[in-house]
Amino acid sequence: MAKPIEDAPQLDDQGPDAPVDLHAAYREARAKSPVVRNSLGMVIGLRGRQIETIVSDVTRQMESETLMMQGVTSGPMWELRQNSILFSNGDAHRRRRQPLSRTFAFKLMEGMRPRAAQVAAELVTENKAKGEVDFLNDVSANIPARIIADILGIPREDLPYFKGLVEEAVSSLGFFDQTRRAQLEANAVEFGDYVGKLLDDRRKNPRGDFLSEFAAATKEAGEMSEAEIRADVVALIVAGSDTTKNSIAMTLNLLLDHPDQWARLKADPDGMKKGAAAEGLRYEPVALGVPRFSVTPFELDGYEIPANRLVIFSILSACRDPEFYANPDSFDISRTDHPRWHFAFGGGAHRCLGEALARVEIEETLATIAKLAPNTRRTGPPPAMKAAPIRGVDQLHVAFG
């Protein structure tokens, strides 16, 4: 018989007393129970198998709850959230995901590999003679920005403006500074208008690129409103920018912190790039977890989860789960025990659509640095990852060599 969730151990991973090392906190918690509660009353699932078996009919994606908690129930940010694939469920999610699934398939994204390698080479070459480089902002952030700009057909001269729109949009996804609400609302309008102009151009002048195919696919299906179509593109840009930027930076830092692993990559960049990317995504995933609401009572590893409860399936914990990984606290780019579906990209119906492109960008960037700048070294303090829903690297400075 399932135990009430109130009997699950409590893990205090929030607030000023939060453990600095969340990995250690989750390792200790996993030894006690596959499910814990935190001080905010959230249920946290700690096992990889829980992400593998996310069931959409007993839980649902978070929708507009975080906005409502901040007093936002109307306006541009609200409208964008209401129409977004990222915050939808059921039929709305299916309609919004299908056209993107067709155009962002793994095979199509593999075709971006030469372009990703070229962009990485451009950035390494541009920055190699500068001495100390702000890798996070001048290199890592520009990899997904330039590639998504190329996919969307955005002129290179628009990149600084485009990156500004993306950064503001990312900052509005969670809990934001209330004094900046008007600015974030204005950015939501501006971003939507910018995407709308791109779509209008492709409808009039198709180029055979992603955006042209997406515009044609949504027109053919005839199931999405113009607001949903724009929100889909905005979501694609936002989701594929910040997460990839941080994953590239943290994985490079991990390699530099483990000289034996960096040597393995340098010895065979093309042979080891996939393993290096997969291990970086596992060892320090950017997304902390998969947040879901229970729509009906269900059992989770021996505990009864009531309806209308926030459940976080912890990606951070799953990626160090000894049920899946041998020596899970060891960073090893030769690891062969990654599950078929990497936990870093979530699970269920909302598994990250941009997984294939993100992998290509991370892999080609690491391989390019290993080839063109094998003596790269970190020049500042090691980066820290903030414990937020989407973990951000605070800084990373290197010298290419």
**What pTM did the predictor assign?**
0.93
Rounded mean pLDDT, 273-302: 96
3-state secondary structure 49-86: HHHHCCCCCCEEECCCHHHHHCCCCCCHHHHHHHCCHH
Percent of the chain predicted with pLDDT > 70: 96
Is residue 134 over pLDDT 90?
Answer: yes
9-24 pLDDT per residue, tens:
998 655 544 556 889 9
Rounded mean pLDDT, 226-252: 90
Is residue 211 over pLDDT 60?
Answer: yes
pLDDT at residue number 16 = 45
Angle between helices 355-372 and 259-267 (to 10 degrees): 90
Cα–Cα distance, 82 to 334 (Å, whole number): 43
79-89 pLDDT per residue, tens:
999 999 999 99
Q: How confident is the model at residue 73 (pLDDT cuts 50, 70, 90)?
A: very high
Rounded mean pLDDT, 70-80: 94
Cα–Cα distance, 34 to 47 (Å, whole number): 6
Residue 240 near residue 357, CB atoms below 8 Å: yes
CA distances from 317 to 30, 115, 253, 309 (A): 8, 34, 21, 20
Tokens of 109: 């994204």
Cα–Cα distance, 241 to 228 (Å, whole number): 20
Q: How confident is the model at residue 231 (pLDDT cuts 50, 70, 90)?
A: very high
pLDDT at residue number 14 = 52
Rounded mean pLDDT, 95-101: 84
Is residue 283 over pLDDT 50?
Answer: yes
Give the residue from 97, 19, 89 showing the smallest Cα distance to 316. Answer: 19
3-state secondary structure the chain: CCEEHHHCCEECCCCCCCCCCHHHHHHHHHHHCCEEEECCCCEEECCHHHHHCCCCCCEEECCCHHHHHCCCCCCHHHHHHHCCHHHCCHHHHHHHHHHHHHHCCHHHHHCCHHHHHHHHHHHHHHHHCCCEEEHHHHHHCHHHHHHHHHHHCCCHHHHHHHHHHHHHHHHCCCCCCHHHHHHHHHHHHHHHHHHHHHHHHHHHCCCCCHHHHHHHHHHHHCCCCHHHHHHHHHHHHHHCCHHHHHHHHHHHHHHHHCHHHHHHHHHCHHHHHHHHHHHHHHHCCCECEEEEEECCCEEECCEEECCCCEEEEEHHHHCCCCCCCCCCCCCCCCCCCCCCCCHHHCCHHHCCCCHHHHHHHHHHHHHHHHHHCCCCEECCCCCCECCCCECCECCCEEECC
154-197 pLDDT per residue, tens:
888 888 898 898 889 988 888 889 999 999 999 999 999 999 99
